[in-house]
Amino acid sequence: MRRSKLNALARSFTLLASVGAPCLGYAADLLPPLPPEPLPPPVEIGGGWYLRGDVGVGAASYEKVVTTVPGKSLPPDYEIHQKSMGDQFFAGGGVGYQFNGFLRGDITGEYRGGGRFSFVEKFDLPYGNGVPAKGLDFDQGHLSTVVAMANGYVDLGTWYGVTPFLGAGVGSAFHTVSGFNDTGAGSAAGGFGIAATKRTTNLAWAAMAGLGYSVTPNLKLEVGYRYMNLGHVGTGAVTCFNDPGCGGASYKLKEVTSHDVRIGMRWMLGGVVAAPVIADYQPEPIIRKY
């Protein structure tokens, strides 16, 4: 009797083992494989570097004229009248860097031309029996300037694709005054003189404001206003042809400034190589084993 019970118990364990083994294999099949390792971050090319180009027009002016005659004093009642300067056109370019979403800076160079300037000298001269007479000199010349600037900008956020900004710059202005001449009138009628080309270097600074618009992710359009202070401009000494006693005068135009309207483009050199698109991870389908 005891032996028959032991045999029955052994057969029961054998049956459980034969049934449980497939179940254990099935349970192992339910475990999903491990997910793939993350890809390396995308490689950035070019960083925040950009190129820029600008064109525009400036309403230029100067504050006053300082006249110097070596070894002589100016005539009595000497005055400067009718100061004027024509509009300047300019074109330039540069390279810059976008530090973050708000700050950027660039180094630029531009050529400014078209600045024809003029003024009238009015003074007393002895005439006849020592009676003073009014003399006039009409002076004019041409100003061109090359400006090199380091600029910084603050972008003030973007609304509907438009980004307002403020900026400032400092640098050097390399002035050239050419074609300067002096024509006499009044009691100085008949006098005529010219001055050689004169070059002057001065500190320049600017304050800017404008709007930017992203034409494409890598191309920005800018429209802005700029106040430019170009320092002073000097002329060469005047040589008179028919009045040897009048020669040697030179002139300095003080505080040359310009109110500029400019249009510019910025080409962003930076870009990001897109990471390959990976489909969402899906575990392998469950396969039942019997």
pLDDT of residue 47: 63
pLDDT recorded at residue 188: 66
**Burial group, residue 55, by CB count within 10 angstroms (0-12, 13-18, 19+):** middle
| Cα-Cα end-to-end distance for the chain | 37
Query: Residue 266: what pLDDT?
Result: 95
185 confidence band (pLDDT: 50, 70, 90) = confident
Nearest-angstrom CA–CA distance, 219 and 260? 23
Instruction: Give the phi and the psi of residue 29 in degrees, each rounded to 5.
Output: -65, -20
Say which amino acid occupies 118. Answer: S
CA-closest candidate to residue 139, choices 89, 190, 187, 82:
82
How far apart CA 117 and CA 61 sit, in angstroms, is 9
State the average pLDDT over residues 77-94: 92
**Cα–Cα distance measured from residue 141 to residue 134, given in angstroms and rounded to the nearest whole number:** 23
Question: Closest Cα partner for 268 from 99, 51, 32, 19?
Answer: 51
Reported as a pLDDT band with limits 50, 70 and 90, residue 278 is very low
CB atoms under 10 Å from CB of 113, counted, come to 15
Query: Do 36 and 92 touch, CB atoms closer than 8 A?
Result: no
Which residue carries 């202005």 as its tokens?
173
Query: Could you tell me the pLDDT band of residue 6, with boundaries at 50, 70 and 90?
Result: low
Spatial separation of the C-alpha atoms in residues 30 and 87, rounded to whole Å: 82
pLDDT tens digit string along 106-135?
999 999 998 899 999 888 776 655 666 777
DSSP helix, strand, coil percent of the chain (3-state; round to 5): 10, 60, 30
Q: Give Dmax (Cα) for the chain.
A: 168
48-270 belongs to which CATH class? mainly beta
Query: Within 10 Å of residue 184's Cβ, how many Cβ atoms?
Result: 20
Give residue-wise pLDDT tens across range 30-51.
556 666 666 555 444 456 899 9
Check residue 274 and give its pLDDT.
35
pLDDT in tens, 236-267: 888 888 765 566 889 999 999 999 999 999 99
